[in-house]
């Protein structure tokens, strides 16, 4: 029995020795497995993934001169104890801006309620700004910061525009809002997504008055269009009537046709002058608006330049202060005494930088005040001066054009009159020529006919010679008959008739022989009847005659 037990004991001892030798290897393998398991758990626990609607912000030791590392999408490993992480939401924020009583450029307070939609930007620079200023802030705090910035910039934009520009040029208004607001909210890491201006009103009712004025102008323009159409219809009718009249008048007399043509030319010239005056007035208004826009653009550019210079100087001062603080922190680890010395030096530099920044701010404020005075006092005077010059030039041009138009009208009138007289004289000459041709060889027929044509006028002149004579009564003392058988009364009447202009004498002086139908001068004892007879001495009164 003892022989059988001994081999079994020896085998157990050998197994125990083998197990003892294998224990160190098993411990090493177990440790390695535990380390691998710990590493896997650590990686799983500290490897962070960034969803699409968030920004992963890793802060701690993330590199030199960096406060945080931002990621949008993907993932990264967060080193335990050295780094930590947080998320920024990319969900948009809707901000209500109940702006009331904002002062415009022409000192009228307006109400501009608006809705702004903002959100954290995925731009690398803006993500870092958001990580520095908005990390771990509640949504309400972010909304309040953005609301304050937007409200201030909206008031600033309204202050640079007049009521007319805000109401009419909405595109310019929205462009200025987008530019100013986006530039300011970018500083805290936000970007402007949308702007919705709900309404623009004012307490004085000026905008409503502008609307009523625009409606009235539209109505007036419609009335003007109707009047112009009616004028065109009347003009067309007048042209048709004028053409009819011209054609009829051409058959009747060339002089009338010339007169109508002169009137047509005058109307066309007047219409052309009126159109030119309207064109000049429109050109003057356009130049005035361009000048006003240039003045406003220069003022806005100067203001923006002053603000930019102010921001650059403030940022430079802040950078200098931060640099001093960093240098002080680095030297803190070396020695306490050196730390105190460096802190004193940094404090001195900070005060100097603050003084320089204050000086720069005061200089910028002075320049801004000078620009404001130039805008409020000098610019209106320059605009008024330019407006007066333009108005004077327009008035002078109008007077010159009116004078030129009147001169052309007078010239056309006299040319038309001269043309009419010339045509009348040509017609008379043609008639005289045909009359002479009709007379043939008898040269006395033509002058005789012309004299007969003028005979009514000559008789009328003879009547005028005695028509104003007031003869109430003529008393003639008749002495009986003369030696030739005529009494004194007949001699008196013959003498009175002979005192009138004599037709035959006029014809003889003109070198014209009257036709037989007009009679001939009778002679009595060698004396013509148109000559004054020698009256005998009065005889003894034998009777009287009263007419």
Give the model confidence (pLDDT) of 511-524 as tens digits: 666 666 555 655 54
pLDDT value of residue 190? 92
Q: Which residue has the higher pLDDT, 527 or 71?
A: 71
Residue range 316-326: average pLDDT? 77
Residue range 385-401: average pLDDT? 87
pLDDT value of residue 541? 43
331 band by pLDDT with thresholds 50, 70 and 90: low
341 band by pLDDT with thresholds 50, 70 and 90: confident
List CB contacts of 178: < 8 A, sequence separation 6 or more.
192, 195
DSSP 375: I
**What's the CA gap between 505 and 521, in Å, rounded?**
10
pLDDT beyond 70 at 473: no
pLDDT value of residue 200? 85
Q: Which residue has the higher pLDDT, 544 or 14?
A: 14
Burial pattern 513-539, b for ≥16 Cβ within 10 A else e, equals ebeeeeeeeeeeeeebeeeebeeeeee
pLDDT beyond 90 at 221: no
Outline where 333-440 has alpha helix (H): 336-373, 379-439
Nearest to 524 by CA among 477, 476, 483: 483
pLDDT beyond 60 at 530: no
Domain boundaries, the chain: 2-48, 87-204, 253-432, 447-546
Percent of the chain whose predicted confidence (pLDDT) is above 70: 75
pLDDT value of residue 168? 80
Which residues share a beta bridge with 76?
48
Element of type H or E holding 239:
helix 206-252
245 band by pLDDT with thresholds 50, 70 and 90: confident
Main-chain phi, psi angles of 492, to 5 degrees: -65, -45
**Helix 254-332 × helix 379-439 angle, to 10°:** 160
List CB contacts of 58: < 8 A, sequence separation 6 or more.
48, 68, 69, 70, 71, 76, 78, 83, 84, 85
List CB contacts of 294: < 8 A, sequence separation 6 or more.
none
95 band by pLDDT with thresholds 50, 70 and 90: very high
pLDDT beyond 90 at 115: yes
Residue 511's SS3 state is coil
How high does pLDDT run on average in the chain? Answer: 77
Helices (H) and strands (E) in the chain, counts: 12, 13
**What's the CA gap between 91 and 78, in Å, rounded?**
24
Q: Which residue has the higher pLDDT, 207 or 347?
A: 347
DSSP 188: G
pLDDT beyond 70 at 90: yes
Residue range 355-366: average pLDDT? 86
Residue range 229-236: average pLDDT? 80
Residue 71's SS3 state is strand
Give this prediction's pTM: 0.37
pLDDT beyond 70 at 309: yes
Domain range 87-204, CATH architecture = 2-Layer Sandwich (3.30)
pLDDT value of residue 9? 53
246 band by pLDDT with thresholds 50, 70 and 90: confident
Contact criterion met (CB below 8 Å) for 78 and 62: no
pLDDT beyond 90 at 94: yes
Q: Which pairs with CB-CB distance under 8 Å and at least 24 residues apart come from 521-530?
A: 524/484, 525/484, 529/494, 529/498, 530/498, 530/502, 530/504, 530/505
**What's the CA gap between 127 and 225, in Å, rounded?**
59
117 band by pLDDT with thresholds 50, 70 and 90: very high
pLDDT value of residue 518? 57
Residue 56's SS3 state is strand
């Amino acid at each position: 029995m003892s022989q059988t037990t001994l081999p079994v004991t020896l085998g157990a001892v050998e197994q125990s020795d083998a197990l003892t030798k294998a224990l160190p290897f098993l411990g090493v393998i177990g440790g390695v497995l535990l380390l691998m398991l710990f590493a896997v758990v650590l990686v799983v626990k500290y490897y962070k993934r960034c969803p699409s609607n968030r920004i992963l912000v890793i802060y701690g030791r993330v590199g030199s001169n960096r406060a945080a590392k931002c990621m949008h999408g993907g993932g990264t490993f967060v080193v335990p104890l050295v780094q930590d992480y947080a998320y920024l939401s990319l969900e948009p924020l809707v901000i209500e801006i109940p702006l009331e009583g904002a002062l415009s450029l022409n000192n009228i307070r307006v109400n501009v309620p608006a809705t702004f939609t903002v959100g954290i930007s995925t731009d690398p620079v803006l993500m870092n700004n958001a990580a520095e200023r908005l990390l771990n802030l509640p949504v309400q705090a972010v909304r309040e910061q953005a609301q304050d910035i937007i409200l201030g910039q909206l008031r600033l934009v309204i202050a640079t525009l007049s009521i007319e520009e805000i109401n009419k040029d909405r595109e310019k208004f929205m462009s200025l809002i987008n530019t100013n607001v986006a530039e300011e909210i970018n500083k805290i890491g936000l970007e402007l997504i949308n702007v919705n201006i709900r309404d623009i009103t004012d307490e004085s009712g000026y905008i409503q008055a502008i609307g009523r004025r625009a409606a009235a102008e539209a109505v007036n323009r419609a009335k003007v269009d109707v009047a112009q159409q009616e004028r065109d219809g009347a003009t067309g009718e007048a042209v048709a009537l004028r053409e009819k009249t011209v054609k009829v008048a051409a058959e009747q007399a060339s002089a009338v046709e010339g007169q109508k043509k002169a009137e047509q030319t005058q109307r066309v010239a007047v219409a052309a002058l009126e159109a030119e005056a309207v064109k000049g007035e429109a050109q003057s208004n356009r130049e005035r608006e361009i000048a006003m826009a240039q003045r406003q653009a220069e003022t806005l550019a100067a203001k923006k330049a002053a603000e930019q210079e102010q921001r650059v100087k403030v940022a430079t001062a802040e950078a200098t202060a931060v640099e001093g603080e960093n240098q002080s922190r680095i030297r803190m680890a070396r020695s306490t005494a050196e730390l105190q010395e460096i802190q004193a030096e940094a404090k001195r530099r900070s005060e100097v930088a603050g003084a320089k920044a204050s000086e720069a701010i005061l200089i910028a404020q002075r320049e801004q005040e000078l620009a404001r005075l130039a805008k409020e006092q000098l610019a209106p005077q320059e605009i008024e001066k330019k407006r007066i010059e333009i108005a004077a030039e327009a008035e002078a041009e109008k007077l010159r054009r009116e004078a030129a138009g009147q001169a052309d009208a007078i010239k056309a009138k006299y040319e038309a009159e001269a043309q009419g007289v010339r045509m009348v004289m040509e017609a008379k000459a043609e008639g005289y020529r045909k009359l002479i041709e009709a007379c043939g060889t008898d040269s006395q027929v033509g002058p005789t006919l012309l004299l007969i044509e003028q005979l009514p006028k000559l008789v009328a002149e003879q009547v005028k010679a005695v028509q104003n004579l007031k003869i109430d009564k003529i008393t003639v003392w008749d002495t009986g008959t003369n030696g030739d058988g005529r009494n004194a009364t007949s001699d008196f009447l013959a003498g009175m008739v002979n005192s009138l202009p004599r037709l035959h004498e006029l014809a003889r002086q003109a070198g014209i022989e009257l036709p037989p139908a007009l009679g001939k001068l009778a002679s009595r004892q060698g004396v013509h009847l148109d000559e004054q007879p020698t009256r005998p001495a009065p005889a003894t009164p034998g009777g009287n005659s009263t007419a």
